[in-house]
Amino acid sequence: ARFKTDTPVNMSTAGKVIKCKAAVLWEANKPFSIEEVEVAPPKEHEVRIKVMATGICRSDDHVITGALVMPFPIILGHEAAGIVESVGQGVTSVKPGDKVIPLFVPQCGECKSCLNTKGNLCSKTDLGKSAGLMPDGTTRFTCKGKAIYHFLGTSTFTEYTVVHESAVAKIDSAAPLEKVCLIGCGFSTGYGAALQTAKVEPGSTCAVFGLGGVGLSVVMGCKVAGASRIIAVDINSDKFAKAKELGATDCVNPKDFNKPIHQVLMEMTGGGVDYSFEVIGRMDTMTSALACCQYNYGVSVIVGVPPAAQKISFDPMLLFTGRSWKGSVFGGWKSKDAVPKLVADYMKKKFVLDPLITHTLPLTKINEGFDLLRTGK
């Protein structure tokens, strides 16, 4: 699901506080509250963006349930597209009027991960730190006199947001924002997990656990990579038609079997898949995904956000025989470099985004959007 806002961008607001609507989460396990918030002007090396469209991602819901620990009150949202309203001093990569995608994994270009060709998880990201503040340690949001925390340096469930210059990518001015917002997280995360992290090869076999927007994007990545067999796994069989439309060759519901799902997949493939992907964020499915890949050269990728304070236990023999277990954040893409290219690929029709968009709602119906997510719709 995603949201659209229709207010035109007003460039005369530069340097001033903007009052606008935002969905504020005051505490865990409560609905969002639509509030009027004040959004401060961007400071040095910061960019203020008019959010035109934002998607709902399961990672936002993980904050509500406490599986991803963040401070409250907070403005969630991290998958969006918008238009630059104003820029702070020293900003050179974007200007007012540019179409942009905020980046929850920034690219500072200076840290070890940014400088290494194999890395993409910039040290400036808020993921794992749960600070909820801009890089200078302050917030740009106020509501009812209270400071409101940022989420992953993006906070897109608001009509205006402020991000650091390292956390925004300029994109094609012709791109439809209500579609390419998905490149800000869900699509890129899944597609890249297959192409960048696993590096799926032509003719290989793959298993994808979890068929939400990210899992379906993994399926698309495996298909583009030329996988000969893509087995989609979900306990909700309603997801299977779309998975097949996007490239899945087989669909399996673990509820249909009285044996562990990894055994089912092992038997289906004659000894396990070449690549498996866990796109849910559950410990049991992470170990199942590892166990279902080929014992000697199989690769399993963790794509779903693991829940806080939970530990995993597994038989180390699973790895000793040669399997690889990897994680992938934002599909392994270096964000600032990759996002404009992914948008360009979308414009060239190299992949589709429409099947990933099931509902379009106004921001005021955000709670209904989350209900749709939680009920698997």
CB < 8 Å & 24+ apart, contacts of 250-255: none
* Rounded CA separation 207/248 (Å): 9
Active site annotation includes 111 = no
Q: 46-55 and 160-164 as β-strands: parallel, antiparallel, unpaired?
A: antiparallel
Whole-number Å distance between alpha carbons of 86 and 118: 34
> Using CA atoms, how far apart are residues 68 and 306, in angstroms rounded to an integer?
8
CB contact at 8 A, 78 and 189: no
155: annotated active-site residue: no
In the set 181, 185, 206, 292, the catalytic residue is: 185
Q: How far is CA 162 from CA 40, 100, 180, 225, 230, in A?
A: 8, 12, 19, 36, 40
Exactly one of 20, 57, 114, 293 is catalytic; name it. Answer: 57
Judging by DSSP bridges, how do beta strands 324-327 and 360-361 pair with one another?
unpaired
> Residue 272 has which token pair?
């396990």
Is 217 among the catalytic positions?
no
Q: Is 270 exposed, middle or buried (0-12, 13-18, 19+ CB in 10 A)?
A: exposed
In the structure, how many helices (H) and strands (E) does the chain have? 11, 17
Active site residue 185: yes
Residue 57 catalytic?
yes
Catalytic residue set: 57, 59, 62, 78, 185
